[in-house]
Chains A and B, each alone.
Chain A
């Protein structure tokens, strides 16, 4: 009897770890394949069948090249794209945190007429489809004569601002009121209460929502592609990679594209490693009722 139990237990464990391993393999393999391809030269990339680690065509010995990375880091468009993405993502994040925190404080802690409709408005905006306003937004930008970079920053608020506001509202609401009252008793104005008491307390929430805003802005493609049509120098890195052509005109340079893909992904993976708990909190904040 005990023997049989141990046996089923072991089988169960083996199956369990097998499944975990399979899932991890499934989720990581495309990224591994990109790294593998980025370390191959042009000839190695065209080898059939493709090898699972970079190998020399004739001898089949392991042969790794860094030339794709070298040429990616000499590619002006790519470097400019990285810089553009940084500017746009950081500005969008800061702007939506500041503006969103103001609104969230009002929605979470103050009593005023029109609070519930405002809340619903902002909640519905978190699911707003970007493509629905594409033509209208482009027209607005052309009318205002905005260059591509501020256009992207402004338009990214469409998806970062409602989300930031919504999540921050929940955080503000959860904060104890007596702290506010204590501050007021001490003679603080509502603004001072906000700035000196509430803001430091909500720093964790700011980090969570800021991270998500940053990643979403860094990854955005539709607006970036559309608004940089006539201003190629303002392209962000996803657009650069999507439109990537080699230095010399030839077939699509997948070695370089994969190297660029790996370079862009690594900072995001570092963020994920450091902040995984915060990111998961932020992702689920809007979706799960606690």
Chain B
């Protein structure tokens, strides 16, 4: 249906210009529109129309591949996705009305979160608990998994980007100096980038195996850090660090290559001048390299951040449904849950978060300033 509407589109007619414009200009203009047309039609069919329909169906209860009538539900999907509540937990009382304490630790026992979390409009589930001024509170959410996915994805993004920027900059500075075998080193740097994420995810999954058949358990045991039975991918404490380790390995070389290209744009005589003025290496880095590298760094950060926020392959393959990224959550809602409206709302939230990050970055780092 969208193709027929797209196919009906006529090439935008060149605007009639005042007489005096040469015929050649008109021909050029018309040719330009015809050349652009295929790209615009394709982008309409695969990007703009679907994006519009995602926004629309996020406001409905549409179910995937079903004949059920679609109802407009307003912002219900978003309310279910994002609702959060904080409730105070009262200490649990025994029959005599006294406060119960744990016989072992002497800590106060509180009532169960399930008793205080609201059931309307939908059941709230426990997200977290915290103490504040001597009272105990529970944080509840209707869609616990999605909010955890948002938190995990943002944490993943921030740590990954920070680590790979530092590491990437280090590698770029090192490889920037002239040495025999530099070309070979660049090939080596392209290896993690070229391996499909689906494939590298499985490679690392095997390295993280939960017995000493896995590389990391062997290393951890040899270093005396563990008994060699750590379930890196099942243990909640290790899941995110493992994901971060895999992604840092996979994407640091990309960061390093971008920064390397940026370094090569800095004229060498600047350093010679600094040398003559007696500036040491650190000073040179701080006053020449870093400021001149800023535009490249900014672009690299934007690319990588927007990429990390939408991480999918890694989480879906390695953790499946034991822990979600935002994108893998949207996928499972669509494919396993068949809840198209709800999944669309998830996509819209991801889209908005990505847009906010992009705008923030462009403001903060002034990407567009030196156009």
Mark A residues whose CB is within 8 Å of B. Answer: 16, 19-20, 23-24, 26-28, 30-31, 33-34, 37, 45-50, 99-100, 102-103, 105-107, 110-115, 118, 122, 125, 127-140, 142-144, 154-155, 157-158, 161-162, 165, 190-191, 215, 218-219, 221-222, 225-226, 229, 237-239, 241-242, 244, 254, 257-258, 260-261, 264-265, 268-269, 271-273, 276, 279-280, 283-284, 286-290
- Does B163 count as interface, using CB distance less than 8 angstroms? no
Q: In the bound complex, do residue A103 and residue B331 qualify as a contact, i.e. CB atoms below 8 Å apart? A: no
Pair A139/B196 contact, Cβ less than 8 Å: no
- Cβ–Cβ contact A134 & B347, under 8 A: yes
Residue of A nearest to B248 (CB): A26
Interface of A is mostly: helix
Q: Do the beta carbons of A140 and B50 come within 8 Å of each other?
A: yes
Minimum CB distance partner of B246 in chain A: A30
Interface segment among B26-34, B113-121, B123-131, B137-145: the answer is: B26-34
**Number of chain B residues close to chain A: CB under 8 A:** 108
Bitwise interface map of B from 192 to 222 toward A, beta carbon under 8 Å scored 1, else 0:
1111111111111011010111110110011
Tell me if B92 counts as interface (CB < 8 A to partner A): no
Closest to B52 in A: A136
Q: Which of A135, A140, A222 contacts B327 (CB 8 A)?
A: A222
CA distance A137 to B250 in the complex (A): 28
Question: Which residues on the A side are within 8 Å of B187 (C-beta)?
Answer: 272-273, 276
CB distance from B309 to the nearest CB of A (A): 8
B159 at interface, CB cutoff 8 A? no
State which residues 173-198 of B face A: CB under 8 Å: 174-175, 177, 179, 181, 183, 185-198
Q: Does B306 contact A (CB under 8 A)?
A: yes
Q: How far is the CA of A243 from the CA of B344 in the complex (A)?
A: 25
Which chain A residues border B340 with CB–CB below 8 Å? Answer: 135, 139
Which are the 3 A-B pairs with shortest beta-carbon distances? A136-B50, A238-B198, A48-B212
Least Cβ–Cβ distance between B317 and chain A, in angstroms:
5
Residues of A contacting B158 with CB < 8 Å? none
Which residues of chain A have C-beta atoms less than 8 A from B64's C-beta?
135, 138
- Minimum CB distance partner of B211 in chain A: A48
**Is there contact, CB below 8 Å, between A105 and B35?**
yes
User: How many whole Å from B272's CB to the nearest CB in chain A?
Assistant: 19
Q: Is there contact, CB below 8 Å, between B203 and A103?
A: no
Shortest distance between the CB of A195 and any CB in chain B (Å): 12
Q: B43: nearest residue on chain A (CB-CB)?
A: A125
Instruction: Please pick, from B46, B215, B317, the residue contacting A154 in the complex, using a CB distance under 8 A.
Output: B46
The interface residues of chain B lying within 8 Å CB-to-CB of A103 are: 35-36, 38-39
Residue among A112, A129, A133, A265 making CB contact with B195, cutoff 8 Å = A265
| B148 CB–A CB distance under 8 Å | no
Taking the closest CB of chain A, its distance from the CB of B355, in whole angstroms, is 9
Q: Of all chain B residues, which has the CB nearest A128?
A: B47
Q: Which residue of A lies closest to B218 (CB)?
A: A49
B221 x A258 contact (CB < 8 A): no
Question: What's the nearest-Cβ distance from chain B to residue A96, in Å?
Answer: 9
Looking at the complex, which one of B25, B46, B253 makes contact with A157 (CB distance below 8 Å)? Answer: B46
Q: Determine which of A27, A122, A158 lies in contact with B191 in the assembled complex, contact meaning CB atoms within 8 Å.
A: A27
* C-alpha spacing A238/B316, complex, angstroms: 13
